[in-house]
């Protein structure tokens, strides 16, 4: 019996889907996706290169930005093969092991990105609340330890997911509604009791998205409280302006993902197209927009980028 089960497990194939279209329009749909990936990979790579090679940018804010760029690059690389594979080559099949590997890296990198956004909120709070001790508090060894904690936390939370999914038998029509694998989608394809996975999935969402977004919100409550105590109106605006890029990154990351989770949990009759679009936005928009937003808002970084391309 175990041999039969192993054979069934190894032969599981999932069929990825995406935006509803026929074969003739796939090429046209692939064009914007292709350019989004190119801009994301080039933009985040340029930021990493500039921060690494310019000693004047070896500051906490830019080091955290580098961490964000690394996770965005990872998310782009994790989703690119299946999304472009569908629209360029009509390649929809993905094996169970490849699917589990993809969903692990997607959730693992999203967990790290959530931690980095929390660190960046703490960075902005220290810079505004206690600027004189900013460099003394956020030292390079301390930032390295924070990055290590983010990786260990992500590994501890996400590592069980593939094993919880691999123990199932999949005997339904294995059509995934997205162009990539995520835990909730694969879990719903199982013909076994998925209660443990539902509980653990909810636990991971609350621990990552719920806790981190709450701590970021509390950080900004403290930031606004500190800023309002500043006597000068110009200094108040200057202080808030340093937070705009981070606020944009937070909204780009949390809003689509939380919206998708709410719709999938409470709106059973919601449009599948809306869920597909929110899925694409949650994974593709932050890596695309974060380098652009930070380059535009940070004059120092913008000048360095212009010099690189002019040379």
Residue-range domains of the chain with CATH = 13-310 (1.20.1070.10)
Q: What residues does 13 pair with on adjacent strands?
A: 95
* 105-125 tens-digit pLDDT: 999 999 999 999 999 999 999
- Residue 296 has a pLDDT of 84
Q: What confidence score (pLDDT) does residue 229 get?
A: 82
Dump pLDDT digits (tens) for 47-66.
999 999 888 888 999 999 99
Hey, what long-range contacts does 196-204 have (CB within 8 A, 24 or more apart)? 196/164, 197/164, 197/165, 200/160, 200/161, 200/164, 204/107, 204/111, 204/157, 204/158, 204/161
Count the Cβ atoms, other than its own, within 10 Å of residue 111: 24
- The side-by-side arrangement of strands in the sheet containing 93-95 is 93-95, 13-16, 175-176
For the segment 235-254, the average pLDDT, to the nearest whole number, is 88
Where do the DSSP E strands lie in 44-185?
Answer: 93-95, 175-176
Q: What is the pLDDT of residue 78?
A: 95
Please give the average per-residue pLDDT across 220-244, as a whole number: 83
| pLDDT for 20 beyond 90 | no
**What are phi and psi for residue 231, nearest 5 degrees?**
-70, -45
Q: Would the pLDDT of 70 be above 90?
A: yes
Residue 9: its pLDDT value, please?
A: 47
pTM reported for the whole predicted model? 0.92
């Amino acid at each position: 019996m175990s041999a039969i089960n192993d054979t069934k497990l190894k032969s599981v194939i999932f069929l990825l889907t995406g935006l509803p279209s026929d074969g003739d329009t796939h090429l046209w749909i692939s064009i914007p996706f292709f350019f989004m990936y190119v801009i994301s990979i080039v933009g985040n790579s340029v930021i990493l290169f500039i921060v690494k090679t310019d000693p004047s940018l070896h500051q906490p804010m830019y080091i955290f930005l580098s961490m964000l760029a690394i996770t965005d690059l990872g998310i782009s690389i994790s989703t690119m093969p299946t999304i472009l594979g569908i629209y360029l080559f009509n390649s929809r099949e993905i094996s169970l092991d490849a699917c589990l590997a993809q969903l692990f890296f997607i959730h693992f990198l999203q967990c790290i990105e959530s931690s980095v956004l929390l660190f960046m909120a703490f960075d902005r709070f220290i810079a505004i609340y206690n600027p004189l001790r900013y460099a003394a508090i956020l030292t390079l060894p301390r930032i390295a330890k924070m990055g290590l904690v983010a990786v260990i936390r992500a590994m501890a939370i996400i590592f069980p997911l593939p094993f919880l999914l691999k123990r199932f038998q999949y005997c339904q029509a294995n059509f995934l509604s997205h162009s990539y694998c995520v835990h909730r989608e694969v879990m719903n394809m199982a013909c076994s009791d998925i209660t443990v996975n539902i509980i653990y999935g909810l636990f991971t969402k609350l621990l990552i998205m719920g806790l981190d977004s709450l701590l970021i919100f509390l950080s900004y409550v403290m930031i606004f409280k500190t800023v309002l105590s500043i006597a000068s109106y110009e200094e108040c605006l200057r202080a808030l302006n340093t937070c705009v890029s981070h606020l944009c990154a937070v909204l780009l990351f949390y809003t689509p993902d939380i919206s998708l989770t709410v719709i999938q949990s409470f709106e059973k009759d919601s449009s599948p197209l809306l869920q597909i679009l929110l899925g694409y936005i949650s994974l593709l928009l932050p890596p695309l927009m974060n380098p652009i937003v930070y380059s535009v808002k940070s004059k120092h970084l913008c000048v360095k980028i212009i010099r690189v391309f002019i040379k």
